[in-house]
Chains A and B, each alone.
Chain A
């Protein structure tokens, strides 16, 4: 296989916040790697505050890195404003969480959809109305809607418009940053079905950021689990969800499923205790140790590096012990 479309290597992102005269350095992302192949859907899951949105922004060059690198199509991020940067802005698109603020209230839907076409000179201006109608139909909206203002649309309709906008320039990668969390449950399912369908038909790669494991499981080919700025476990979605190895993934999934249906029915759930620690003062060693049911002294001393485990990678010193049977892999 050739190089992945997107390759984030050991990304470090530190925010400096000053509060009450005290400067705090918040490690939003520390040494996280993630890659997305062409046409692939990668789910990035984690609690709020895990740094997944920041990593997503960095992946498309909207967030500067303090360490590591981002390769898109094998090339490092171009300088802002350069011709390569403009091309990149066409090839990667982003859909945000809040569809209510994602559309300019003073522009019609048609104008919002014309913006990417204008910015990237997609065909002659007179072809745009047809293209806009086509895009609206693609996302299941009435082309007549082009004349309306966002104020008259529901959240789900707005998010469809945002999807249409992202698709307007035929990108290679779309970062979907919590695109369903502002929507109600029935609409969530429709939006995920829509994006999955479009992904298949157009072959665009997706980086699907969500805290909703069910949605990620439904859509992703590969999954990465993030906690406090680090990738805890990553691998094929089926493997991560069926045989989770990292204690955090296991906790998220409500303990590992057991193949025996009787035992499975009685399996113990490990609730995640407490809050995610302050990212300005993360735990030493393994970041998850303060909430891990298996934590021991070793975890505070050494930072576990991601190591291969089956088809996946896991960042835990004791994953073999915890999963019990995995030594044969």
Chain B
């Protein structure tokens, strides 16, 4: 009666079966490889300076053209992927670290704990992101760490509300009432009955939040509150590229298109995962 069998089944359920799922999974693996080993994907250095090839339009050698220092734009986007993924995953993980236990507590215990935690979550939710970012940057300075912190805080209510709502539904379910009737403790019930059943919905919003993270990163870096230019992220590229939109429209366009495509694919992946993990559609 080890727990290994159902975990394998659970992961097995996430193996994509639809063509769209397979394509997205391969893309996802591709993006991770790009982030880990950018040099495999481009012959150029991200900070290579070439005075003779400044702001060149797209060509077979530079599919997205070159930037103001003559570097390959595609190479810079590729090298920016790592930070992008680090920010997206880091912020969601940070949010989940606080929001999942808080949501479980609020949904399971209810009453005062629920009231206080929901109040905190709603306060965060109603606070303007940019204002919050300005305040944090003002006190901590603009950096990747600050950005992850800001995004992490911003995502807490999103995950908290989901976990709380799912927990409230599950608490009323027969198997939770039954476990309590059998003498199972709170920790036992949360770990064995509630958490495994909310893991699906939580996993589904992770790619969606990562998409939001990429967009907010781009926005905050664009206004100078995020990743600072020597470091390469899609947002910091966007910030620099906007200066050249008159003469080199492909430059900001390429950066913007990659950012948009990445978030769109993440949202789409979330939808597919939602379908795959739905217990009503499971067999065996």
Contacts and interface: CB of A to CB of B under 8 A. Distances in A.
Contacts of A60: 181
A274 B260 CA distance: 62
Contacts of B282: 149, 151
Contacts of B284: 148-149, 152
B109 interface: no
Contacts of B184: 115, 119
Interface string B173-195: 11101111111100010001100
Interface in B58-96: none
Contact of A98 (B6, B174, B179, B197): B174
A116 B1 CA distance: 13
A104 B284 CA distance: 15
A115 B178 CA distance: 11
A110 B1 contact: yes
A90 B183 contact: yes
Contacts of B5: 108, 147
Interface in A158-206: 162, 165, 169
B182 A151 contact: no
Given A102-B174, A105-B197, A152-B283, A93 B1 contact: no
A93 B183 contact: no
Interface residues of B, number: 25
Contacts, number: 78
A79 to B, nearest CB: 13
A85 interface: yes
B182 A89 contact: yes
Contacts of A152: 283-284
A218 B197 CA distance: 39
A18 to B, nearest CB: 14
Determine the main DSSP class of B at the interface with A: helix
Interface in B237-282: 279-280, 282
Interface in A91-134: 93-94, 96, 98-108, 110-112, 114-116, 119-120, 125, 128-129
B2 to A, nearest CB: 10
A17 interface: no
B30 interface: no
A112 B282 CA distance: 18
Interface in B194-249: 196-197
A111 B6 contact: yes
A62 B279 contact: no
A107 B176 CA distance: 12
A296 interface: no
Contacts of A107: 6, 192, 196
Interface in B9-51: 10
A100 B284 CA distance: 16
Contact of B175 (A104, A110, A151): A104
A86 B5 CA distance: 30
Interface of B: 1, 5-6, 10, 173-175, 177-184, 188, 192-193, 196-197, 279-280, 282-284
Interface of A: 60, 62, 85-86, 89-90, 93-94, 96, 98-108, 110-112, 114-116, 119-120, 125, 128-129, 147-149, 151-152, 162, 165, 169
Given A89-B183, A102-B174, A119-B182, 10 more contacts: A89-B182, A101-B175, A103-B175, A107-B196, A108-B5, A120-B183, A125-B1, A147-B5, A149-B282, A152-B283
- Listed from nearest, the 5 A-B pairs whose CB atoms lie closest are A89-B183, A102-B174, A101-B174, A106-B196, A104-B175
15 contacts: A89-B183, A90-B182, A93-B181, A94-B181, A96-B177, A98-B174, A102-B174, A102-B178, A104-B193, A108-B6, A120-B183, A125-B1, A129-B1, A149-B284, A162-B178
